[in-house]
Chains A and B, each alone.
Chain A
Amino acid sequence: MSDIVEKTLTALPGLFLQNQPGGGPAAAKASFSSRLGSLVRGITALTSKHEEEKLIQQELSSLKATVSAPTTTLKMMKECMVRLIYCEMLGYDASFGYIHAIKLAQQGNLLEKRVGYLAVSLFLHESHELLLLLVNTVVKDLQSTNLVEVCMALTVVSQIFPREMIPAVLPLIEDKLQHSKEIIRRKAVLALYKFHLIAPNQVQHIHIKFRKALCDRDVGVMAASLHIYLRMIKENSSGYKDLTGSFVTILKQVVGGKLPVDFNYHILLQVLQKYILLLYLTMILTISAIFIFLSLAILFECVHTVYSIYPKSELLEKAAKCIGKFVLSPKINLKYLGLKALTYVIQQDPTLALQHQMTIIECLDHPDPIIKRETLELLYRITNAQNVTVIVQKMLEYLHQSKEEYVIVNLVGKIADVLVLNTVDTYAPDNAWFIQTMNAVFSVGGDVMHPDIPNNFLRLLAEGFDDETEDQQLRLYAVQSYLTLLDMENVFYPQRFLQVMSWVLGEYSYLLDKETPAEVIAKLYKLLMNDSVSSETKTWLIAAVTKLTPQAHSFDTVERLIHEFTISLDTCMRQHAFELKHLHENVELMKSLLPVDRSCEDLVVDASLSFLDGFVAEGLSQGAAPYKPHHQRQEEKLSQEKVLNFEPYGLSFSSSGFTGRQSPAGISLGSDISGNSAETGLKETNSLKLEGIKKLWGKEGYLPKKESKTGDESGALPVPQESIMENVDQAITKKDQSQVLTQSKEEKEKQLLASSLFVGLGSESTVNLLGKADTVSHKFRRKSKVKEAKSGETTSTHNMTCSSFSSLSNVAYEDDYYLNTLHDRGDKELKTFSLNSELLDSESLTELPLVEKFSNCSLSTPSLFADNSMEIFHPPQSTAASVAKESSLASSFLEETTEYIHSNAMEICNNETISVSSYKIWKDDCLLMVWSVTNKSGLELKSANLEIFPAENFKVTEQPGCCLPVMEAESTKSFQYSVQIEKPFTEEILSGFISYHMMDAHSAQLEFSVNLSLLDFIRPLKISSEDFGKLWLSFANDVKQNVKMSESQAALPFALKTLQQKLRLHIIEIIGNEGLLACQLLPSIPCLLHCRVYADVLALWFRSSCSTLPDYLLYQCQKVMEGS
């Protein structure tokens, strides 16, 4: 039947084309739409999935024939596409039709195009290769005069568009922002937002146009632009402060009822959340009088906002009232939101929970699991020692009902958090309850739970609390309960739980009175023989058996076990069995090796492997080469390469000079060391080596390794000579464990802080939720072992290396200094003046003299070291003290650092005691940030310290002398940090804080942030035209763009001059209407630029070894050219 229809269909096109009146088209239409109809009907009539599959496959093959037949008209194709979309929706592959969908969009008339576009946007995804075929069509349609076509093109662009083709349509869409129709403007804004999401650096230059969109007279356009601002403000909240006014105006209009209550305003609120807007929120909160659905949505956001901004009591009161309305609402959706809001605010205001306790309890038994879960979440936040049993019980109840993995993982995590992880004082009221609850958690959560949970539980057991007898009881109880659990027949426990059990049994079985170790071993053996136990768990089990063996008196089971597993196919098990076997032969050794209850004592490990010294010496005497660590070998290789490198352009001259000076000493030291390691004392060796490393690398990247070495070293010193060979591998694993322990101790410290805050909240307001006043105090208090000795040692070595480093660099610095001060003093005034204004407009370097000076001075004095001035600045006595302190500060800077181009000091934060100014120095090899701290008070400040938050795009290195023990009254000190760029960006914020102690011992903190632009890291690259040619060919990443020039700058030399001055590009050569420029991004990423002028268009062509740099530079160029 379908075949016949098919044939008639293929015969029909002739009729269509001739436009014959009569039944033709109508019949065709009927038959096509009924094809879809019959397909749908066919599918609904079917009962099994299998039959459906068959039918669809049949349909697809007939469609395939139709779409690929040359006689198929576009109109028929349109119908086919709809059917293809249907099949694809049901999950069947219709990829043969993709190309036809694109064709339809390209060639069809309006209606067919619409189907084509729809099909394309449903079928394809952003990185699909066929999408490139669509680009031309989209470009054509964007230029069309037909509104519908433009709309369609914009829609498809916002759904799917290949990232790399954005430049092709970008200008067209930008034009659409000025279109007379609102709908087009609105869609254009959304399309641009989409571009912003997938390729942010491509749309950076149209931010001004977004601003226009924000002020659009059409509400929709304005609302659409809010998306963009939300995103951008999330990324950089300080950059858009000036827009706050506009946002507030919009909000006022909404509140005043001048604008329709629209959906997108919640975004506006999220935008505003970033800023403090007490005034207008009060106004909105009064909207609650009007109970419209959407205003509720806005209200909810308001409550969020109130609690996320700086708290103000009257606002909080109103917000609390609103939350009350939500929570008490009979409408279930509002109740849900109310609970959510409550969860959100509960930490700030626990009394609110008291007000609504009855509702909360009702919700706890609500039939809706979602509400229940939200309530549990809320309870979780207010857990304390008194209500913990009830809350955990509720959570466990929910856990037993729930089947979803996500829920289980989430809740198990929370229970464990309450009990073990988060708190120093666990809330658990007694041992039995604690162990039983954990048992329940382990058996339900099983293998999906977070691995931290069992680890932390074991740690808690092992480290114990203050009271030793209490600890023993807890452990004993755990052992007993596990033995009972293991006695039960036919119960399967999750692997994680078994692992926990085997560890506890192995460690603490000795506490048992009535059961002998042999009996425990028998139980473990039974588990070992069980097939359902995974091999990982089996290794835990066998480890437990090994621990128990020395305590046992009869060895039948152990021998049986050894016999069983020495022939196991699992190598790991076999290994363990052999170990056990050999240890078992010497019970005395085994006892000393596996002492009872020593699990949390730190093992002393001979990390230097000194017992191998004899072996090494023997090897050396037989002529073997001394060992060199990996980095040293690499460094040697590198420095050899450097010697042979005759390339005239020293792209990385600073770093090569650096290693050239330092590395020979370092290497010789290092190799001496490893050669003599047999003879020289351990400690000396290591400390020498450390210095070598520091000098060689001198970057932060290496420090962690060094620290861990120091740690080992301190442990290694008191090693007794009998440190046994057999012990080694075990010892090493234990060492790893202990390292993990110390690491997580830092985490614990943080958690301690968080939890102590939390506990304070709960107890202070006495949230006695369910009226059960348990008087159990916190029995469990964890011991805090801080390894101060270790950390102290680390810092001291660090300091030592720093100081030796700086003394070396001082010499080199002084030479340069005299040269440069002479050279630059004349221009000082001019320079600082211009830089001052530049800082105000921090986006670009706009002053002409600045960059000229820059290229003059900085390039002629290649300095090897990043730290040019380590002295502390003292403000000159002569300046009148009453006149603005900043000016005196600035002048003191000038005296010290004139050899480099620098910005003027700008105050970034202050309070009554100190004020902080910052100041950039553009050095050849890095950007040096100087923060100058002035003590305004009459008191001495202690331990002033400046810390920079880590940022992903930067590497910030502290220059020596940054921690000041004492700061005299009314003095100024400066902190220097060299900033290296890790990854190109346009503008980033570097923030940090300064902390200090007053004399009366109270400490304070002050936060600040500084904007850094890409241009801070761009330096001219001086190379010859030939080198340019060579480099040009070797770079793979290129970007081309045409920029329109205004009349005034139409000449090439002028344009290049602008680039040179504002972007610090180096002009290599100008040939006719073409120009060659080069620059480098610090530390040494070169970027080349080729310019060509036609009429008023400047064609820019960037090439670089870095893939993203050209994009960013292009953006800067565009900005410069537009700006001038």
Chain B
Amino acid sequence: MIQAILVFNNHGKPRLVRFYQRFPEEIQQQIVRETFHLVLKRDDNICNFLEGGSLIGGSDYKLIYRHYATLYFVFCVDSSESELGILDLIQVFVETLDKCFENVCELDLIFHMDKVHYILQEVVMGGMVLETNMNEIVAQIEAQNRLEKSELLAWGL
């Protein structure tokens, strides 16, 4: 199961924080900070896996991350998830973002935080992977967008 999905930039500013397991507010912030420090220390050309340490749940947990330009995408998962699988999932998630925002950049994530969450909801639901096919995810998001447009039209009339 996925315990948490964290996205932060090179300076450690959180851009997306989603926990699937309940932690108190302060602990969440602490987890984000410590994860950032763990990940920051690592070069780009070394492996993408980290053992979670004492942060979330101890040795049964692992951090799997990817670094894209200014953003780090970190998934914290338990031992039942496959490392390579999650690595691929991050790629799928980022590609989907790219498709939905047309050349996604950090600013998109900031200003359309809610949309990013909706996309994530179509990929991971309650800590379980829901869909890994990018086209399916995009189709779901587009259906929602159409809805939004029709709503706006209704207002405009």
For chain A, residues 312 to 362, give those with C-beta under 8 angstroms from any C-beta of chain B.
Answer: 332-333, 335-337
Shortest B17–chain A CB gap in Å is: 5
Interface contact A300-B49, CB-CB below 8 Å: no
Shortest A1009–chain B CB gap in Å is: 24
Question: Known pairs A190-B130, A194-B126, A368-B43. 6 more at Cβ < 8 A?
Answer: A36-B111, A37-B111, A82-B113, A332-B45, A333-B47, A405-B54
Shortest B139–chain A CB gap in Å is: 9
The yes or no answer to B70 lying at the interface (CB within 8 A) is no
> Assuming the A-B contacts A82-B113, A300-B82, A300-B84, are A333 and B132 also in contact, with contact meaning beta carbons closer than 8 angstroms in the complex?
no
Shortest A377–chain B CB gap in Å is: 10
The yes or no answer to A294 lying at the interface (CB within 8 A) is yes
Interface contact A155-B121, CB-CB below 8 Å: yes
> Assuming the A-B contacts A40-B110, A367-B43, are A262 and B50 also in contact, with contact meaning beta carbons closer than 8 angstroms in the complex?
no
Interface contact A370-B118, CB-CB below 8 Å: no
Q: Which residues of A contact B22 (CB under 8 A)?
A: 125-126
Give CA–CA (A538, B140) in the complex, Å: 68
Count A-B contacts at CB 8 Å: 148
List 5 tightest A-B contacts by C-beta distance, closest first.
A158-B126, A297-B84, A368-B46, A406-B53, A266-B82
Q: Which residues of B contact A407 (CB under 8 A)?
A: 53
Interface residues of B (CB under 8 A from A): 13-14, 16-18, 20, 22, 25-26, 28-29, 42-43, 45-51, 53-54, 59, 80-85, 87-89, 110-111, 113-114, 117-118, 121, 125-126, 128-133, 136, 140, 143-144, 147-148, 151, 155-157
Shortest A480–chain B CB gap in Å is: 37
Interface contact B140-A224, CB-CB below 8 Å: no
> Assuming the A-B contacts A85-B113, A109-B151, are A227 and B18 also in contact, with contact meaning beta carbons closer than 8 angstroms in the complex?
no
* CB-CB nearest in chain B for A299: B84
Interface contact A89-B132, CB-CB below 8 Å: no
> Assuming the A-B contacts A19-B155, A367-B43, A367-B46, are A267 and B29 also in contact, with contact meaning beta carbons closer than 8 angstroms in the complex?
no
Interface residues of A (CB under 8 A from B): 19, 21, 25, 33, 36-37, 40, 44, 82, 85-86, 89-91, 93, 109-111, 114-115, 118, 122, 125-126, 148, 155, 158-159, 183, 186-187, 190-191, 193-194, 220, 224, 227, 230, 260, 262-264, 266-267, 270, 293-294, 296-298, 300-301, 332-333, 335-337, 366-368, 370-371, 373, 404-407, 410
Q: Which residues of A contact B50 (CB under 8 A)?
A: 370
Interface contact B114-A118, CB-CB below 8 Å: yes
Interface contact B147-A301, CB-CB below 8 Å: no
Interface contact B84-A89, CB-CB below 8 Å: no
Interface contact B85-A266, CB-CB below 8 Å: yes
Q: Which of A25, A115, A267 has the most CB of B within 10 A?
A: A267
15 A-B pairs (CB sep. < 8 Å):
A19-B155, A19-B157, A114-B118, A125-B22, A148-B144, A224-B128, A294-B85, A297-B88, A333-B48, A333-B84, A333-B87, A367-B43, A368-B47, A370-B46, A406-B53
Interface contact B45-A25, CB-CB below 8 Å: no
**Partner of A187 from B53, B81, B125 at Cβ < 8 Å:** B125
Interface contact A183-B29, CB-CB below 8 Å: no
Give CA–CA (A111, B49) in the complex, Å: 38
Interface contact B82-A301, CB-CB below 8 Å: yes
Give CA–CA (A296, B87) in the complex, Å: 12
Give CA–CA (A3, B113) in the complex, Å: 25
Interface contact B49-A370, CB-CB below 8 Å: yes
Interface contact B131-A91, CB-CB below 8 Å: no
Interface contact A297-B14, CB-CB below 8 Å: no
Shortest A173–chain B CB gap in Å is: 13
> Assuming the A-B contacts A93-B25, A114-B118, are A297 and B111 also in contact, with contact meaning beta carbons closer than 8 angstroms in the complex?
no
* CB-CB nearest in chain A for B129: A263
Interface contact A158-B47, CB-CB below 8 Å: no
Interface contact A89-B14, CB-CB below 8 Å: yes
Q: Which residues of B contact A19 (CB under 8 A)?
A: 155, 157
Shortest A290–chain B CB gap in Å is: 14
**Partner of B18 from A114, A122, A370 at Cβ < 8 Å:** A122
Interface contact A370-B54, CB-CB below 8 Å: no
**Partner of A91 from B29, B110, B129 at Cβ < 8 Å:** B29
Shortest A98–chain B CB gap in Å is: 12
Shortest A46–chain B CB gap in Å is: 11
* CB-CB nearest in chain B for A294: B88
Shortest A150–chain B CB gap in Å is: 13
Q: Which residues of B contact A294 (CB under 8 A)?
A: 84-85, 88
Q: Which of B43, B51, B156 has the most CB of A within 10 A?
A: B51
Interface contact B113-A293, CB-CB below 8 Å: no
Shortest B60–chain A CB gap in Å is: 13
Interface contact B85-A297, CB-CB below 8 Å: yes
> Assuming the A-B contacts A190-B128, A220-B131, A368-B46, are A118 and B118 also in contact, with contact meaning beta carbons closer than 8 angstroms in the complex?
yes
Interface contact A91-B126, CB-CB below 8 Å: no
> Assuming the A-B contacts A82-B114, A193-B128, are A337 and B46 also in contact, with contact meaning beta carbons closer than 8 angstroms in the complex?
no
Shortest A213–chain B CB gap in Å is: 14
Q: Which residues of B contact A90 (CB under 8 A)?
A: 14
Q: Which residues of A contact B42 (CB under 8 A)?
A: 368
Interface contact A370-B47, CB-CB below 8 Å: yes
Give CA–CA (A250, B43) in the complex, Å: 40
> Assuming the A-B contacts A40-B110, A91-B29, are A263 and B89 also in contact, with contact meaning beta carbons closer than 8 angstroms in the complex?
yes
> Assuming the A-B contacts A332-B45, A336-B49, A371-B46, are A190 and B126 also in contact, with contact meaning beta carbons closer than 8 angstroms in the complex?
yes
Interface contact A404-B53, CB-CB below 8 Å: yes
Shortest A183–chain B CB gap in Å is: 7
Give CA–CA (A158, B28) in the complex, Å: 20
Q: Which of B29, B47, B59, B133 has the most CB of A within 10 A?
A: B47
Q: Which residues of B contact A155 (CB under 8 A)?
A: 121, 125-126
* CB-CB nearest in chain B for A339: B47
**Partner of B133 from A33, A159, A191, A260 at Cβ < 8 Å:** A260
Give CA–CA (A294, B85) in the complex, Å: 6
Shortest B53–chain A CB gap in Å is: 4
Q: Which residues of B contact A267 (CB under 8 A)?
A: 80
> Assuming the A-B contacts A148-B143, A368-B47, A407-B53, are A263 and B25 also in contact, with contact meaning beta carbons closer than 8 angstroms in the complex?
no
Q: Which residues of B contact A187 (CB under 8 A)?
A: 125, 130
Q: Which of A91, A110, A373 has the most CB of B within 10 A?
A: A91
> Assuming the A-B contacts A155-B125, A266-B85, A337-B84, are A370 and B148 also in contact, with contact meaning beta carbons closer than 8 angstroms in the complex?
no
Q: Which residues of B contact A335 (CB under 8 A)?
A: 47
Shortest A394–chain B CB gap in Å is: 18
Q: Which residues of A contact B20 (CB under 8 A)?
A: 159
Interface contact A159-B128, CB-CB below 8 Å: no
Give CA–CA (A303, B151) in the complex, Å: 52
Interface contact A293-B84, CB-CB below 8 Å: yes
Shortest B67–chain A CB gap in Å is: 13
**Partner of B25 from A91, A270, A293 at Cβ < 8 Å:** A91
Q: Which of B14, B50, B85, B156 has the most CB of A within 10 A?
A: B85
> Assuming the A-B contacts A118-B114, A158-B126, A227-B128, are A89 and B17 also in contact, with contact meaning beta carbons closer than 8 angstroms in the complex?
yes
Give CA–CA (A294, B155) in the complex, Å: 46
Shortest B69–chain A CB gap in Å is: 16
**Partner of B147 from A93, A111, A405, A410 at Cβ < 8 Å:** A111
Give CA–CA (A18, B42) in the complex, Å: 57
Give CA–CA (A1095, B14) in the complex, Å: 58
Q: Which residues of A contact B54 (CB under 8 A)?
A: 405-406
Interface contact B155-A337, CB-CB below 8 Å: no
Shortest A449–chain B CB gap in Å is: 15
Shortest B77–chain A CB gap in Å is: 12
Give CA–CA (A266, B84) in the complex, Å: 10
Q: Which of A190, A260, A405 has the most CB of B within 10 A?
A: A190
Q: Which residues of A contact B110 (CB under 8 A)?
A: 40
* CB-CB nearest in chain A for B139: A183
Shortest A687–chain B CB gap in Å is: 48
Give CA–CA (A91, B23) in the complex, Å: 12
* CB-CB nearest in chain B for A44: B13
Give CA–CA (A126, B155) in the complex, Å: 36
* CB-CB nearest in chain B for A264: B129
Q: Which residues of B contact A220 (CB under 8 A)?
A: 130-131, 136
Give CA–CA (A190, B156) in the complex, Å: 38
Q: Which residues of A contact B113 (CB under 8 A)?
A: 82, 85-86, 89
